[in-house]
Structure 1
């Protein structure tokens, strides 16, 4: 088994160096959430133990890998950024499945539904995602929930995984449990997690409107025989009042259900699989529950969003041409409906995203195996898309100008269809017993979201951009097309490892907000008039532009002695427009982390530092502000106790540094000591503790 090392980031974690003997090793990083539950296969890949984390935002934990960063839009609304891209451009899955979020501002992005305490592991696609994982412009990840493993014989065995954690910075508490039983033919388990926290502190004051509450629970069962297996899982998410000071509104509730069915069967040389899934979301947000209510009763707003998603995926695989061939068909259907209301006036409502239905039918072929002196994973995907919006409606109390926009929308063509093609080649070859060369080549696409295409009313909803601008969509948008090249080397010997990568992404028809018309600042159209009523005289419209992103990242480590280990990571990305002289919005600055860890037989402790550069390559189109550099120090310790118990202690931001992460967004909550428009600072000194037990 490979030696244990520490991969240094803002969140100290245990890791194992990559093992080149495993075919999947060059293609993925595997983050193992709980080391005591690690399987034999994943111990040979790059893993990290993040069981000590107490933060409710799983994206902050995932930011430990090179190229990954957390876009903070609230305690439970963080998004993952990978090499400058985030949101719908990343292929993020839960249990191998894509699904829909509820709100147009992505207050419930994918990782909202994946608390770290309930995750078994997160598989991160290095560079690009395989076509078999579904469409997506860039890389992606698959967050896999804990379950109960099959046993080796007919005797039933009991499994349990319990944890409790706290952190001082927001008086946060987390509790989670997994209980179940299984033999070699049957398994049954139940799980749940509850997290609460108050406003977090930074320096000498609390950041108002940052409290959170989330409850997730579910059941799973499975049957298997020698040649087939069936698994079913149900999950329920109930998010309570949760602050989002980066947005114009806060979460009142997010109630979501997930049902997943997996069936696999071996038949001769073939293995067949079927994946069924369904999820729905009911979501409410408002501007008065967790922040000062507007002085004018007519300015009260509460928005209700509903979404539903169904998917089926069929796969067949077999040995072919010295490797493994996979074929697949998949179909998804999603519906979205959003209505803005005033709770003080039943006649005021705007159905601004009305009963939108989106369908996609796709097919892929993928082969992995030896290709001369190289190993390769090569695939192609073809997808047919169509979308249609129903007619918008407004209440009698709505002013004339928004009602006119709704009428114009209803008279327009509200149907769209397109076909996209993706190609990906991920190839690698050993240069020696200690070094491996990796090359990725791909053409990847992304179709516009329902918001980018159908938003007829100018509102701040922007799928999490949180830039303070109002946006409208465009039915004529083209799909984004990215041409990607990446190369890297994985080096490892008995005392050191080094995994640098360099990449370039040229994106044609990149979807970006641009000025609504050529007369910026002159309010001479109905859209601009309505936008001015919402506080923005210069609305943006989603449009196709040209962009490029390039940079490098990697991680490294050196075994100083049998007990001492030095580790680190680094990254830099440059993201800009190609059609005009401007930068892309909200791109993480360069950063580097170093950590020193002492490892004993039953315990470990470490000190780490992370330096983040200033970011002045900002987007003028999005009125983005530059950010300053900062340096943080963190301490962590862990004791492996008897009978599967673990006690983890950590101190983040040891010197109580006041800093503003570039990706943290701007304050829009007037009830805070933080001024409106100021960057929301990172958390102050934080003491965290987690006690866990598994068997």
Structure 2
């Protein structure tokens, strides 16, 4: 049963060289893995091989099970190890991995780069942070969602905070906060540690991951890299679904740890890729990422000041969309000619947080954070490349926040946690930013008017008074009671409130952003969410049970209305509710049964109908077997039909396409742990080759011969084989 509580396991990976073509990182990773395998084979005693460790996990060995469900770690918090192999087939991006957690789903459009949804909410309602930093995509229809730039296996720990129950990780987190973090390594003198994984599967799926750590107690260098690719998959009926992807990421960090209380790290990274989509009128021919970061952590500065955290970061997403490089151009795809758009978003930010011991039973975190994010665009055709066009500034966003969060222990079992946050948000819209809605040709609705308006414009002129928005003091806060009993059971109840400033995709992307179309930029009001969260967990000698539930009211919910090629946004009043529950039971020393379930409900009170883009009831039943070096498991995913929908309404990515059918999918896996350094795992997803589609889905694109209202089917029977190495 303990295998389901995933602990941080800091595997480290070696980066591929900068991209000349996408194949080059794959070759470099394969060579490094072969070299590391040879080195391990020459080791006289495998037991003497170095084992990876961090301060929070001093002993690391290969886990013996494949993750089929992730259970709660503490009140309102889920902690998982993203390096752990999971079923279905191990993830290619952050959204793919998050679907393992009850309550998460994703808006699907093909094989990779889905957009994660938690409890029916997505986008800036659910900030996704990497090492505490904000990385934002550039596409006006979120083809390059933040999760598409994240390779889960290159991080040590994944943390999810449910609902508006924290204020220390940025603004607008009404649905929750997702954090992918790399932890501080702990090294002795002159150590070199390596871990890697190789994976292959149906549809030419191929993944390589390498982590390398070298250093001593005072200095270290950490390199991480991954490459992932797949060709188009086939659904359960054997029909090919446009879903090819090929992408890579590489990061390097140099750290200084002169003592147990000091950690200074400088990091840099790059990535790129391509992906094509059966549910969009354009494909992503470039997902270029450039990242830099500097962070400092200092502990035990004084009796009162117990911790100081400070960081600076820079991220640039340079994204290209076109309708000709990854597909044959078809005029019926919603566009009259081969076209391309190049968009980029540069995000710079800082965060300083201090932890104070105010008394024997009182702790507090005080801090400040800030972020600035300009957005630039340019476009072209197959004959006249965008590369020769000047960049046009179409929008800029900024946010500065102050936060305070305190914990008061009321005794050996009870405590109160409370937080308050104030944010100052600003947005600028420049003339080239008007009418950009649907510029990636989502479904058959995407238009190119915004791209044509952007071409060749000098969008860096100052915005007029009507093109600037500011809210100087938006409050957010929460209060939560927790009880942790000695027998391992916990209870919690909390209430939280968040005011969220409209984001780029709501203020600038919609068709009615322009003044002559309704001026959504100036008319939209910030979204205000008030939510109650409750839950509990219980443990026994061989069983675990947990549950969490919520009910909320949202004033001025930001809703998209679709009509033909237009996507207009407005404020409505809404209510939300739902629950997640799960448990496991050890049937015998080697066999454990587990189950999870999640349900979300939401209503548009203004229109008197369901809120769109809410996933249906979903349950997962699993068996996990582990005996000696052998392991095996089964996962039965059951999804109910969804009859609550709002036709023609949705978000900037997708809209409700009508009711959806329920389905059940069975997946199996088995593994063998050869020794402490090497494990092999094989799996079969969708064993019976069922044809099915997720409720949250983009409409098919006529450029691939799909009807405009057709959902994209998921893969049919999928086989995969994976090897994990640690040295």
TM-score range, shorter chain: 0.7 to 0.9
Kindly indicate whether the alpha-carbon contact (under 8 Å) linking 1:451 and 1:473 is maintained by their aligned counterparts in 2.
no
Kindly indicate whether the alpha-carbon contact (under 8 Å) linking 1:573 and 1:588 is maintained by their aligned counterparts in 2.
yes
SS of residue in 1 equivalent to 2:109: coil
Assess, with a 3 A threshold, how the Cα gap between structure 1 residues 174 and 456 changes in structure 2: closer, same or farther: closer
Assess, with a 3 A threshold, how the Cα gap between structure 1 residues 228 and 345 changes in structure 2: closer, same or farther: closer
SS of residue in 2 equivalent to 1:594: strand
- Displacement of 1:568: 0.4
SS of residue in 2 equivalent to 1:642: coil
Matches within 5 A, 1:445-594: 445-455=499-509, 473-514=520-561, 536=565, 539-594=566-621
Distance (whole Å) between structure 1 residues aligned to residue 681 and residue 298 of structure 2: 42
SS of residue in 1 equivalent to 2:279: coil
* Residue 526 (structure 1) aligns with: none
Assess, with a 3 A threshold, how the Cα gap between structure 1 residues 353 and 103 changes in structure 2: closer, same or farther: farther
Distance (whole Å) between structure 2 residues aligned to residue 188 and residue 563 of structure 1: 40
Kindly indicate whether the alpha-carbon contact (under 8 Å) linking 2:235 and 2:241 is maintained by their aligned counterparts in 1.
no
Kindly indicate whether the alpha-carbon contact (under 8 Å) linking 1:591 and 1:612 is maintained by their aligned counterparts in 2.
yes
* Alignment length (residue pairs): 633
Distance (whole Å) between structure 2 residues aligned to residue 53 and residue 632 of structure 1: 13
* Residue 193 (structure 2) aligns with: 159
* Residue 268 (structure 1) aligns with: 302
Any gaps of 5 or more consecutive residues in structure 1? 20-24, 36-48, 462-469, 516-520, 522-534
Structure 1 residues 613-659: Cα deviation after superposition (integer angstroms, max 9, x where no partner): 00110112425321101011110112222142111111110010111
Kindly indicate whether the alpha-carbon contact (under 8 Å) linking 1:150 and 1:187 is maintained by their aligned counterparts in 2.
no
- Displacement of 1:546: 0.9
SS of residue in 1 equivalent to 2:156: strand
Kindly indicate whether the alpha-carbon contact (under 8 Å) linking 2:281 and 2:323 is maintained by their aligned counterparts in 1.
yes
* Residue 40 (structure 1) aligns with: none
Q: Determine if the alignment matches structure 1 residue 222 to structure 2 residue 255.
A: yes
- Displacement of 1:188: 0.5
* Residue 719 (structure 2) aligns with: 687
* Residue 102 (structure 2) aligns with: 66
Q: 2:342 aligns with which of 288, 292, 304?
A: 304
Distance (whole Å) between structure 2 residues aligned to residue 675 and residue 254 of structure 1: 28
* Residue 382 (structure 1) aligns with: 422
- Displacement of 1:4: 3.2
SS of residue in 2 equivalent to 1:112: helix
Distance (whole Å) between structure 2 residues aligned to residue 52 and residue 658 of structure 1: 16
Any gaps of 5 or more consecutive residues in structure 2? 7-64, 435-447, 650-655
SS of residue in 2 equivalent to 1:509: strand
Assess, with a 3 A threshold, how the Cα gap between structure 1 residues 426 and 304 changes in structure 2: closer, same or farther: same
Assess, with a 3 A threshold, how the Cα gap between structure 1 residues 604 and 402 changes in structure 2: closer, same or farther: closer
Assess, with a 3 A threshold, how the Cα gap between structure 1 residues 206 and 12 changes in structure 2: closer, same or farther: farther
* Residue 195 (structure 1) aligns with: 228
* Residue 371 (structure 1) aligns with: 410
Distance (whole Å) between structure 2 residues aligned to residue 237 and residue 318 of structure 1: 38
* Residue 145 (structure 2) aligns with: 109
Q: Determine if the alignment matches structure 1 residue 144 to structure 2 residue 181.
A: yes
Q: Determine if the alignment matches structure 1 residue 93 to structure 2 residue 140.
A: no
Structure 1 residues 31-55: Cα deviation after superposition (integer angstroms, max 9, x where no partner): 11346xxxxxxxxxxxxx5399434
Kindly indicate whether the alpha-carbon contact (under 8 Å) linking 2:110 and 2:242 is maintained by their aligned counterparts in 1.
no
If the length of structure 2 is used for normalisation, what is the TM-score?
Answer: 0.81
SS of residue in 1 equivalent to 2:296: strand
Distance (whole Å) between structure 1 residues aligned to residue 295 and residue 270 of structure 2: 18
Which stretch shows the higher mean deviation, 621-630 or 543-552?
Answer: 621-630
* Residue 77 (structure 2) aligns with: 28
* Residue 333 (structure 1) aligns with: 372
Which stretch shows the higher mean deviation, 340-349 or 441-450?
Answer: 340-349
- Displacement of 1:420: 1.1
* Residue 169 (structure 2) aligns with: 133
- Displacement of 1:438: 1.3
* Residue 53 (structure 2) aligns with: none
- Displacement of 1:77: 1.6
Kindly indicate whether the alpha-carbon contact (under 8 Å) linking 1:472 and 1:540 is maintained by their aligned counterparts in 2.
no
Distance (whole Å) between structure 1 residues aligned to residue 645 and residue 388 of structure 2: 36
Distance (whole Å) between structure 2 residues aligned to residue 401 and residue 79 of structure 1: 23
Q: Determine if the alignment matches structure 1 residue 284 to structure 2 residue 320.
A: yes
Kindly indicate whether the alpha-carbon contact (under 8 Å) linking 1:632 and 1:654 is maintained by their aligned counterparts in 2.
yes
Distance (whole Å) between structure 2 residues aligned to residue 257 and residue 584 of structure 1: 37
RMSD over aligned Cα atoms? 3.2
Structure 1 residues 304-338: Cα deviation after superposition (integer angstroms, max 9, x where no partner): 10110110111111212313211101111110123
Kindly indicate whether the alpha-carbon contact (under 8 Å) linking 1:350 and 1:393 is maintained by their aligned counterparts in 2.
no
Assess, with a 3 A threshold, how the Cα gap between structure 1 residues 512 and 417 changes in structure 2: closer, same or farther: same
SS of residue in 2 equivalent to 1:184: coil
- Displacement of 1:577: 0.4
